[in-house]
Amino acid sequence: MKLSARNQIKGTVTEIKEGAVEAQVTLEICEGQTMVSVITMDSVKRLGIAVGSEVFAVVKADSVMLAVE
C-alpha cells in the first residue's frame, strides 16, 4: 500500500487498553520511545492488531507544534 502521508512511523504494539468502543494502542517506535493511538475496537479486530504486532503509525496533520524547555 502506498500513502500520500510522509510521516509513517514503524512500531511494535506493546499494549492495548480495550474500551467499549475504542482502544488505546501503545507502540514502541524505538527503544524507550512510545506513541499512543486511539482507534476503534472494530479497527483493532479488522486489522488483527495484537501485542507484538508490527504496525505503521501514519500521521497526517495540517500543523505540528514544537516545544522547548
Residue with cell 479488522: 46
Domain residue ranges of the chain, discontinuous segments joined by +: 7-59
Per-residue pLDDT of the chain (69 residues; tens, 9 = 90+): 788 888 899 999 999 999 999 999 999 999 999 999 999 999 999 999 999 999 999 988 878 787 899
Please give the Cα distance from 61 to 12 (Å, whole number).
22
Fold of 7-59: OB fold (Dihydrolipoamide Acetyltransferase, E2P) (2.40.50)
pLDDT at position 51, please?
Answer: 98
In our burial notation (b when 16+ CB lie closer than 10 A, e otherwise), range 35-49 reads: eebeeeeeebeeeeb
Q: Which pTM was predicted?
A: 0.86
